[in-house]
Every structure is written in C-alpha cells, then in structure tokens.
C-alpha cells in the first residue's frame, strides 16, 4: 500500500527583531538548520545602533549559511512592543526586502517569541507551562507586560468575587508598583506565588519594586496594605516565592523567532502593506503634537 504522507520541508525563513536593545537576525534553511547574528549597544550611552548594524548583520548571516537572500520563502519581523525607533527600523527594512524579493512578510510579537525562547508553547490561546509574566522596559519608569497562563480559567478580582477570565490576552503598560498591585488584586497572592518573571525588563522591574535598594534581579519583600492583605488572605512576604527565570540566550531567542515566523507563514497569515508595529502608547512626537493641538484649540476657544 502506498503512503499518502508527504514530507514537508522546513520553510526558509529570515527573521528580524529590533524592538529592544538586542538587534537579532536569524535564518533557517531548507534542511532546518538555523543561523543567527546579534548586536547590543555598548554601555557608553550611545543608545541603539540598529540602523547602522542591521544590513551588516543580515549580510554576514547569509554568508555564513551560504544562502542567497532571494531564496527565502518568507521574511518575519518582530512587531514589538518596545523601542519606537527600533520597531520602525526593523519593520521598514523587512517591508522593503519583502517588496524587493516579492516574498510574503509575517509579523510576530516580542512577548510570544520570548516565551518560545524559554521553552514555552505560546501560540494564540494555546499556552502550556507555569504562569509566566514577560516584561519589557517601556522607558519613563513604565513596563510593557504580558501574562501567560495555561488555557484554563483563573480567578479574577478580589477573593470575595467569583468572576473568571482568560489571562493570556492581558497586556499592560504600567509602572512597576501599579502593575504589581493590579496583579495582586486581579489574580491573588496564591496565583502569583508560582509566577515566573522574565523578559528584557525583568531585572529592572524587580529592582524598582524593591526601591532600588537591592541588586538587580533579587526578589523584593513587597508590602501589602491591610485592605489588600485581608482581601487576598495573604501575608506580606509571599513575593519570596517568585521566580526570576534565567534569560534565554541568543540561540534560543533566534529559535523562538523562527518558530513563530514559520507558523505564521504556513498559516498564510501574511502582513498587509498598511500593517504597522504594535504600539501600546503614543510616541513622544505624537504626544508633543497632541499637546500643541490642545494649546491651539484653547487659543481658538474650541
């Protein structure tokens, strides 16, 4: 009897992430081998150098893999959230390459590819693993955060309430203290006691929670006011049970990007020309523009 099984070759994917300090490009060839190149800014205050480094990273990547750029099946790009400038640079480069090569462009989020890099399965609602909070430094003493839990209902609200929701879709842009208090109130101390914290902004988040009096990455002893303690039936030192996940290395991050981009490509979930990055807040330029417009309207008496 003949078999109907057809061997599916791995997609040839170029994936790029520039939404955070680490600029990363990754390539998967038809045999499933992966290659990656990364660049981080030097600690000299010069800031991101994505615009100067991105083309060179990709050129060295293709040279190492002995692979022609025109032979890729698709291009994947990290849509953020993260640095406004970094997101625009990487997306503009990916869109230009997609148009020049007539290849599909797929987008993926920073939160999900970081979860993948930690060995978690995080495609849409299908998440498996311990509760995981991914944090990204949003600047201005705020953090972009996403909570992943297994695809099952979890308690939301104070202990006296019995409302339920799926937390996988919860994404925030908050200060460290506001985010922590929100999680306490919505999900409870028992749930948070098993929480694993990771992401490029995780060490800074924990340092700020501790008031800057501890080394980065050390877990804080968090204070809970009497009302919260009573409502949550929690004591003030439950935060010691938190876990700071070791950060994934570049190879793991590259693998996470390629997995998500490959999934989007096989599903034909392509980006459109009008699609843009994931912004959780307005840029400084937009805020300044809106402020000027308000001033103008006030002067006109609108």
Strand ranges (E), 109-226: 121-123, 126-128, 132-137, 143-148, 154-156, 163-165, 171-174, 196-198
> What is the structure's pLDDT at 246?
80
Task: Report the alpha-carbon distance of residue 174 to residue 263 in Å, rounded.
Answer: 31
Query: Mean pLDDT in runs of 10 for the chain (302 residues)?
Result: 56 94 93 92 67 90 93 95 89 95 95 85 58 88 86 39 42 88 80 81 84 48 44 42 78 93 93 84 59 50 52
For residue 188, count other CB atoms closer than 10 A to its CB. 21
> What is the structure's pLDDT at 24?
95
Compute, in degrees rounded to 10, the torsion defined by CA atoms 245, 251, 253, 259.
-120
pTM tops 0.85, yes or no: no
> What is the structure's pLDDT at 135?
93
> What is the structure's pLDDT at 129?
63
Residue 91 contacts residue 277 (beta carbons within 8 Å): yes
> What is the structure's pLDDT at 207?
82
| Ordered structural domains, the chain, with CATH | 13-113+248-288 (3.30.420.40), 123-244 (no CATH)
């Amino acid at each position: 009897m003949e078999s109907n099984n057809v061997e599916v070759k791995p997609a040839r994917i170029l994936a790029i992430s520039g939404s955070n300090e680490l600029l990363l490009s990754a390539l998967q060839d038809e045999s499933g081998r992966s290659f990656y190149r990364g660049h981080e800014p030097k600690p000299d205050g010069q800031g991101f150098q994505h615009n100067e480094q991105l083309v060179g990273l990709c050129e060295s990547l293709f040279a190492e893999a002995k692979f022609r750029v025109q032979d890729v099946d698709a291009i994947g790009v990290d849509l953020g959230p993260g640095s406004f400038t970094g997101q625009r640079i990487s997306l503009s480069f990916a869109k230009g390459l997609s148009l020049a090569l007539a290849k599909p462009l797929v987008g993926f989020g920073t939160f999900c590819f970081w979860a993948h890099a930690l060995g978690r399965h995080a495609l849409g609602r299908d998440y498996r693993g311990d509760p995981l909070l991914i944090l990204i430094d949003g600047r201005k003493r705020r953090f972009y955060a996403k909570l992943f839990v297994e695809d099952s209902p979890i308690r939301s609200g104070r202990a006296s309430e019995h409302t339920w929701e799926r937390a996988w879709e919860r994404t925030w842009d908050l200060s460290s203290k506001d985010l922590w208090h929100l999680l306490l109130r919505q999900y409870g101390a028992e749930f948070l006691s098993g929480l694993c914290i990771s992401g490029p902004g995780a060490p800074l988040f924990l340092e700020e929670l501790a008031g800057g009096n501890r080394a980065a990455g050390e877990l804080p002893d968090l204070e809970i006011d009497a009302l919260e303690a009573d409502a949550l039936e929690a004591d003030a030192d439950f935060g010691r049970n938190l876990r700071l996940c070791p950060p994934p290395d570049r190879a793991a991050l590259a693998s996470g990007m390629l997995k998500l981009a490959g999934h989007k490509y096989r599903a034909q979930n392509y980006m459109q020309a009008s699609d843009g990055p994931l912004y959780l807040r307005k840029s400084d330029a937009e805020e300044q523009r809106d402020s000027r417009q308000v001033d103008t309207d006030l002067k006109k008496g609108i």
